[in-house]
Structure 1
Amino acid sequence: MKKKLIYCITSLLFCCSLALAQTAEPAMPASAAEVAAIIKKANHYWQTANPNHGRAFWDNAAYHTGNMEAYKVTGTEAYKSYSEAWAGHNQWKGAKSDDKAGWKYSYGESDEYVLFGDYQIAFQTYIDLYNLDEVKDPKKIARAREVMEYQMSTSQNDYWWWADGLYMVMPVMTKLYHVTGNKQYLEKLYEYLSYANSIMYDEEEKLYYRDAKYVYPKHKSANSKKDFWARGDGWVFAGLAKVLQDLPTNDPHRNEYIEKFVGMAEAIKNSQQPEGYWTRSMLDPEHAPGPESSGTSFFTYGLLWGINNGFLGRDEYLPAALRGYKFLTEVALQPNGRVGYVQPIGERAIPGQVVDANSTANFGVGAFLLATSEMHRMVEQERVRLNESDLARNISAYPNVANSEVRVQLPAGLTCKSVLVKDETGKQVAKYKGKFTGEKVLPVKKLTKAPYALELKTSKGTITKTMLVQ
């Protein structure tokens, strides 16, 4: 009886520990080098398997948006060269027709579809390559400017009639604004997005239908629910992140972009599956069950970008981002470097469609590179933040209430360029500008029993420290 009781207790403890292991939140990657190795594994596989350069249509171009981010975080010159060769192969153009009277923007893959966003996404990479050049080559963005400036000169505002188009073209507008300073890019960006919102944005769910024909209740999922296609919303979410990256802080519509991005983030977080992925129909997992990596990559990228840039709360959104990253790097990424579980080209969640470890595609790899590159940035930021925390602990601040002053002591080897002291309301009560090492006494208007914040600009970056006056 005693042995049986011990066995039961042991079994129960084992089951409990297994359950805890399965529900434990994934940890941050150990280092940026670990993330870089994952990026290189996936990108090396893709570029080795695809040495020839295809047309400048959306699927290839979407890969290159991810490849450029991989270049930016790893510095691997082969990645930049790969995109340069693709751009040159396509003459730094999208669709190639020069007959403006025949330019179209409905769906089409021939060269007269110059105004169709699926042929404009290539401009993102061309602009990035142009910006990376020390000596600028105007030919790299000449076609992008020609096409977009012609488009903006027309009276139409319905160019973005499908969700994918928001990723394809919104970032082109903000990138060209930065190159040219032409505010019309931002004005038309808002005008075109407003049209898109009017036909496919669901105010209640804070998500986008793929296009107008999928709006509920005209279209329903297998279980009569709203059918939001994961990759479609992934395109939008990632596109908004890219827009906010480049949008001026004084843009009159900036808060609306932020509101859309944050609203989507909450809906995305709430629809994630426990295993870390998102199903193809976001709110009806039974419609097309099982993992899918392209939508998951875009969502993971957007969540990480939002956290990295202060738009999303770390405590609330990091667990979802880490679960997505874990699925992408431990399940979707195969041992040979292939990114699997990519739903084939399409526009909706299809019941019964096979999506498995062998399912891969250029745009899916691009999305994977976006997500992993943003994780690389997060790990780097974390390293810097921890280093700053170590420095802050070695800086001493001694308040003297009687003399209304603060004595700041720096550790050896650290030079300070300026110091700000703020009270708990954020009001500045002391300021010193000038280099010093060792110790500096700062006069303060008045010290009361309260916490104060010190902001020190040093030879090792900006460091903040809290000082409590008791």
Structure 2
Amino acid sequence: MIRLSMYLLGVALLLELPTACTSSKTVVATQVSLPKQQDVLALITQVNDHWQASHPAQVRSFWDEAAYQTGNMAAYEVTKNEKYRQYAEDWAVHNQWKGATSDDKAAWKYKYGETPDYVLFGDWQICFQTYIDLYKLKPEPQRIARAREVMEYEMSTDRNDYWWWADGLYMVMPVMTKLYGVTKNPQYLTKLHDYFAYANSIMHDPETGLYYRDSKYVYPQHKSVNGQKDFWARGDGWVLAGLAKVLHDLPADAPHRGEYLSKYQRLAAAIKKAQQPEGYWTRSLLDPQHAPGPETSGTAFYTFGLLWGINHGVLDKKEYWPTVQKSWQYLTTTALQPDGTVGYVQPIGEKAIPGQVVGKNSTANFGVGAFLLAASEMYRYLADH
């Protein structure tokens, strides 16, 4: 019954297409009402309960687990289900409110690494987002002590090249704005811009408004199988979602807010153009044949990011809502499996891989997190409709 209700939820949203975007054969469908918020809550609960039932909270604080927790906290915010908050807190306590655990600052590194000395690597810093959110619920200083120690040490250095891959913009940009929110230390916003400027200098493509995953994939050094620019869907998903989170927390009068907004809106427009008719985005955004077929993590991050823009009045609803309707239909009727599994998630990687099989049983923690972000933002949309 839950699966059926979720199917009807997706269908109802799809059918509520604005009249200007429908053919004469489907105009009658515009009279179908939007689903109720409790239907979306049921979906969030189904997906998150299914994940937590078979995945203990006592796991490391690396990026994939931490990305799931950002979705889990979004689910908590809209459901107020204390079980979700407790799951996040159990995870934080298990990791001692830390990312990478080395205390020897002289040995701290920031390129790629999974060992305790890569404290300055963004994949070990995304956990701070959830720690800060938990701190705001219960402001005990130890909850953000390590986050402040790490980020304030990082800001004391003369380096600005910490965000050298697209994923890092989701991992760490929101940490900077969240810590600004609780400390009011303006250095967080200054360094946010410095690091973002460096990231743009090596990954942003001015022609399309999209982001390469990192400097290895910049055209024409790297090309898709058909000789095109190769933009990885999840990579640009990280960026769009990260910018949405930054704009959400950034003060209205913050320096450079206009730049973040401009990059966000340009990226949103490029992503909108790359959507497939079935509602998903392929792993290589501009070359669907490079790695054809649906992919959920990028699609869910886009759905979240675009819905956030609609909800906050920075994306035109008439222009972007049809895009969201199609992606929501895909997420709720294709990606979501009957038992609550979120399928079609490309495994951990950094690029679209020709021939890689991504099917209904392909799931991952970060993909579930992205799905929960999208569903939670849909819940907020429905509050006004």
Query: Which band: TM-score by shorter chain?
Result: over 0.9
Q: 1:47 to 1:104 in 2, by over 3 A?
A: same
Work out which structure has the larger RCO, using CA pairs closer than 8 Å and 6 or more positions apart in sequence. Answer: 2
Aligned equivalent of 1:42: 47
Which of 158, 168, 177 does residue 161 from structure 2 map onto? Answer: 158
Is 2:208 aligned against 1:205? yes
Give the whole-Å Cα distance in 2 for the aligned partners of 1:26 and 1:86: 45
Q: Mind listing any 5+ residue stretches in structure 2 that lack a counterpart?
A: 1-22
- The CA deviation string for residues 407-426 of structure 1, in whole angstroms up to 9 with x for no partner, is xxxxxxxxxxxxxxxxxxxx
Q: How does 1:333-372 map to 2 (within 5 A)?
A: 333-372=336-375
Aligned equivalent of 1:447: none
The Cα RMSD (Å) is 1.7
Asked whether the 8 Å contact 1:297–1:367 carries over to 2, the reply is yes
Give the whole-Å Cα distance in 2 for the aligned partners of 1:39 and 1:279: 24
- Kindly indicate which of the two structures has a greater share of residues assigned to strand: 1
Rg larger in structure: 1
How far the C-alpha of 1:26 sits from its partner, in A, is 12
How far the C-alpha of 1:51 sits from its partner, in A, is 2.3
User: SS of the residue aligned with 1:114?
Assistant: coil
How far the C-alpha of 1:29 sits from its partner, in A, is 4.2
User: SS of the residue aligned with 2:222?
Assistant: coil
Asked whether the 8 Å contact 2:303–2:374 carries over to 1, the reply is yes
Give the whole-Å Cα distance in 2 for the aligned partners of 1:273 and 1:60: 29
Asked whether the 8 Å contact 1:29–1:35 carries over to 2, the reply is no
Asked whether the 8 Å contact 2:166–2:238 carries over to 1, the reply is yes
Q: 1:19 to 1:350 in 2, by over 3 A?
A: farther
Is 2:192 aligned against 1:189? yes
Aligned equivalent of 1:4: none
How far the C-alpha of 1:188 sits from its partner, in A, is 0.1
Amino acid at match of 2:179: L
How far the C-alpha of 1:322 sits from its partner, in A, is 1.2
Which of 292, 297, 302 does residue 300 from structure 2 map onto? Answer: 297
Number of matched pairs = 363
How far the C-alpha of 1:27 sits from its partner, in A, is 6.9
Is 2:309 aligned against 1:309? no
Aligned equivalent of 2:247: 244
Asked whether the 8 Å contact 2:278–2:330 carries over to 1, the reply is yes
Aligned equivalent of 1:94: 99
Q: How does 1:364-443 map to 2 (within 5 A)?
A: 364-382=367-385
Amino acid at match of 2:144: I
Q: 1:41 to 1:184 in 2, by over 3 A?
A: same
Asked whether the 8 Å contact 1:244–1:258 carries over to 2, the reply is yes
Tell me the percent identity.
66
Q: Mind listing any 5+ residue stretches in structure 1 that lack a counterpart?
A: 1-17, 383-470
How far the C-alpha of 1:20 sits from its partner, in A, is 5.2
- The CA deviation string for residues 373-418 of structure 1, in whole angstroms up to 9 with x for no partner, is 0000000122xxxxxxxxxxxxxxxxxxxxxxxxxxxxxxxxxxxx
Q: 1:296 to 1:25 in 2, by over 3 A?
A: farther
Structure 1 length-normalised TM: 0.76
Q: 1:27 to 1:376 in 2, by over 3 A?
A: farther
Q: 1:332 to 1:29 in 2, by over 3 A?
A: farther
Give the whole-Å Cα distance in 1 for the aligned partners of 2:210 and 2:81: 36
Give the whole-Å Cα distance in 2 for the aligned partners of 1:28 and 1:368: 23
Aligned equivalent of 2:259: 256
